Amino acid sequence: MKKAQSSVMLVADDNGYADHKLAFFTADGRIECLKVATSVQVGGTNMTSVDGDRQNIYQVVDDEKNVLNTYTCSPAVTQPLNLRNANYPFVEPNRVLLHHAMVKAGLAGKNVKVGLTLPFGDFFNADGSKNVPFIKKAVENFEQNNVITEKDSLKVAIASAHMFPEALSAFYDWGLDETGGVMQRFEALEESDGSILIVDIGGSTTDIVCIRMVDGNMMIDHAHSGTERIGVLDVKEQINTEYQKKYGSGGHESHLSTRAVTKILETGKHRGGGRELDLFADVQAIIGQVSQRIVNYVESKAGRIGDYQAIHFVGGGAVVFKEALQRAVSFATIGDEFANARGVLKYMVEQQEAN
């Protein structure tokens, strides 16, 4: 199997509001995945290693290597930028975060062809055509190649960037193997002219893609596909709000850090101020409320659930809301949070093999 036709390496990035999820091939041909928090602040920090080294600091430079901006990428930053807006694919901090994730993956010094994801509702227009200006603007952002590490000026050189729609990318993960070949369940869907619903619940968005096979050809049913601005970040924001109501002293200084909220979501507990708080019941109530909104959206957008040959939930939210999703759709399958990234990588391999 050809992983690359030159020294250019294939890398996929599920470009999320909560996390960047990478997928890439190891030296022995396996797909490896890595998750890095979408947490960045302008400037450096006073945090160092025990040896006194500043870490996770990146510089944006011009053609003469003059420093234009400095950023710190870490879940421990104290003043994280709020990137949850429509301009996210176009902004400099997102480009810095992509390079941070690739450096963390050990790709510094590599030349890469990177595939990145966009929410389905941003990638496509309402009439089903590609949103070409939006896609082009996102590609231009990630192809600038002007991000280096502060300490030793390391960088990942992006040979080219390509955009893929979320949820549809997860379908490629569902239907293709690591060589880009078609799996048996994909073939069964083709042979029966069946339909599948992919639901990708991410940090800030829930993407739905309805794929129908028509005479063996894959078609997107845009009437039953779309994007809703709801996801795991809604749970995290409500956890922070509930904590402020019950235990906060008021003001922004009592807000929990991103890292603390993530721990509460994972464990239901919070340690601070010399005490341990049990927030499990609060977290479950919040998950229940948000999951009901997601289920309502799926049911209203997808049409007759029983008409689908398969329904596949993926993304970080598929894990968080697993029980509610399985109650709503008993025959659904649950994937993981790396499905989009793996799907993009598999599709790039399939396209490379075809050329």
Encode pLDDT of 301-317 as tens digits: 998 999 999 999 999 99
Residue 3 has pLDDT above 60, yes or no: no
Residue 253 is predicted with a pLDDT of 52
Residue 258 is predicted with a pLDDT of 82
Encode pLDDT of 28-80 as tens digits: 999 999 999 999 999 987 776 777 778 899 999 999 999 999 999 998 888 89
Residue 7 is predicted with a pLDDT of 87
Mean pLDDT of the chain: 91
Residue 299 has pLDDT above 60, yes or no: yes
> At a CB cut-off of 8 Å and minimum separation 6, what does 251 contact?
none
- The predicted model gives 99-109 an average pLDDT of 97
Q: Label residue 101 by pLDDT band (50, 70, 90).
A: very high
**End-to-end alpha carbon distance in the chain:** 13
Tell me how crowded residue 91 is: count the other CB atoms within 10 A of its CB.
14
pTM of the model: 0.89
Which position has the token pair 């396209």? 351
Residue 6 has pLDDT above 60, yes or no: no
The domains found in the chain, sorted by start residue, are 8-169+340-354 (3.30.420.40)
Contact 305, 295 (CB under 8 A): no
Encode pLDDT of 172-214 as tens digits: 999 999 988 999 999 999 999 999 999 999 989 999 999 999 9
Three-state secondary structure call for residue 294 = helix
The 3-state DSSP composition of the chain as helix, strand, coil percent (nearest 5) reads: 35, 30, 35
Residue % of the chain over a pLDDT of 70: 95
Alpha carbon distance 14, 110 (integer Å): 19
Residue 85 has pLDDT above 80, yes or no: yes
Contact 239, 283 (CB under 8 A): yes
Residue 147 is predicted with a pLDDT of 97
Residue 5 has pLDDT above 80, yes or no: no
